[in-house]
Amino acid sequence: MTERMKISFLGGGNMATALIGGLAERGFATADIQVIDLQPDNRARLAQRFGVRAVEAVDDEALACDVLVLAVKPQQMKAALAPLAGRLTHQTVVSIAAGLRLADLSRWLDGYRRLVRAMPNTPALIGAGVTGLHADPSVDDAGRNAAERVLAAVGSTVWIADEAQMDAVTAVSGSGPAYVFHFIEALEAAGSALGFDAATARRLAIDTVLGAAKLAAGSDEAPGVLRERVTSKGGTTAAALASMAESGVFDAIVRAVRAADARGRELGEQLGKD
């Protein structure tokens, strides 16, 4: 059954492409989707691949939408929103730009308040993302539902009550894939050091992380319980975990996420000060 929702994207980069692809796979009519992008290559690619309307500048047809997704880089957002100021009337505006606060977006949009802040992560590119969402109090249930339906096209969603915690979402899940890739790098390097060829070391590392994540996702038990279950006293896993504890790996990860959270707040202040 075809889903009907008029959605416009300001920006046609990788995340917008992933969202449009996810929406198409879930039965949304791509004839109802529009993209505004300055780059002719992006417009041609999206129009050809999905059959969406792609235009260079904001026009009345592009604004005749239910949801407007802001998918431009944070540093470019203020300039990109200038043509929209004073022209929005009913649209739920969803920003997927990291760090930008609703108050700043509203100011750049001449006081418009029907805004939702979203933080997807890069696994959204394969439909396996997770997105934190926070809505301005002026967004009604229909607007929240519309925003969630768009982001659910690329994975799971979590609503965050306090906007201040959106920086923490960025630190945990937005930046989180990089932490996992770093762990895979280390596991692969260890495999190579133990004599495996590069392809075998990589396969062992990647499939171990993938399988463990699937096991955790399918279990009602906490990760700590699952860890204890595979840790025999005096065994090889216990030796590895003891070495990690001695090196402070657990605490180092917590500190790293806190550092990302602090940097997110700093960036939000810098990007929104104009």
Regarding whether 154 and 237 lie in a shared domain, the answer is: no
How many domains are there within the chain? 2
pLDDT of 272? 83
| Burial annotation 139-174 (CB, 10 A radius, 16+ → b, else e) | beeebeebbbbbbbbbbebeebeeeeebbbbbbbbb
Regarding whether 104 and 50 lie in a shared domain, the answer is: yes
Regarding whether 198 and 112 lie in a shared domain, the answer is: no
One-letter amino acid identity for 163?
E
| The last residue of a domain, from among 135, 167, 199 | 167
pLDDT single digits (tens) 80-94: 999 999 999 999 999
Regarding whether 156 and 30 lie in a shared domain, the answer is: yes
Domain that holds residue 238: 176-263
Q: Could you tell me if residue 272 is inside a domain?
A: no
Q: Which helix (H) or strand (E) holds 102?
A: helix 102-108
Mean pLDDT over residues 262-271, rounded?
A: 90
Regarding whether 239 and 103 lie in a shared domain, the answer is: no
Residue 130 has pLDDT above 80, yes or no: yes
In this structure, is the dihedral angle defined by the CA atoms of residues 265, 9, 154 and 42, taken in order, positive or negative? negative
Residue 253 has pLDDT above 70, yes or no: yes
Residue 2 has pLDDT above 70, yes or no: no
| The last residue of a domain, from among 167, 192, 221 | 167
pLDDT single digits (tens) 36-73: 999 999 999 999 999 999 999 999 999 999 999 999 99
